[in-house]
Amino acid sequence: MAEIRARAAAQKPSCKECFFGCNNLCALGLDEPCPTFRPDDPSGLVPLRQPSLLPRSPAEEAAQPLAQTA
């Protein structure tokens, strides 16, 4: 269990690895990575991976009434 915690702590991102921190673009003076952390990559700022959209089944669509516009 302690090994898992140590591994998780070792993989924690730091401001030194952040794109914004490495390029002097960070406007925050925090001691830990902020929610806008993006890894510094040689190819530049890489967009976050978006989750896949999954189609609903017909049963789910029937259970959700359509939003009515006024």
- pLDDT tens for each residue of 37-53: 888 989 888 888 888 98
- In this prediction the pTM is 0.51
Mean pLDDT, rounded, for 1-29? 74
- Could you give the 3-state DSSP secondary structure of residue 62? helix
Give residues with Cβ within 8 angstroms of 34, minimum separation 6.
Answer: 26, 28
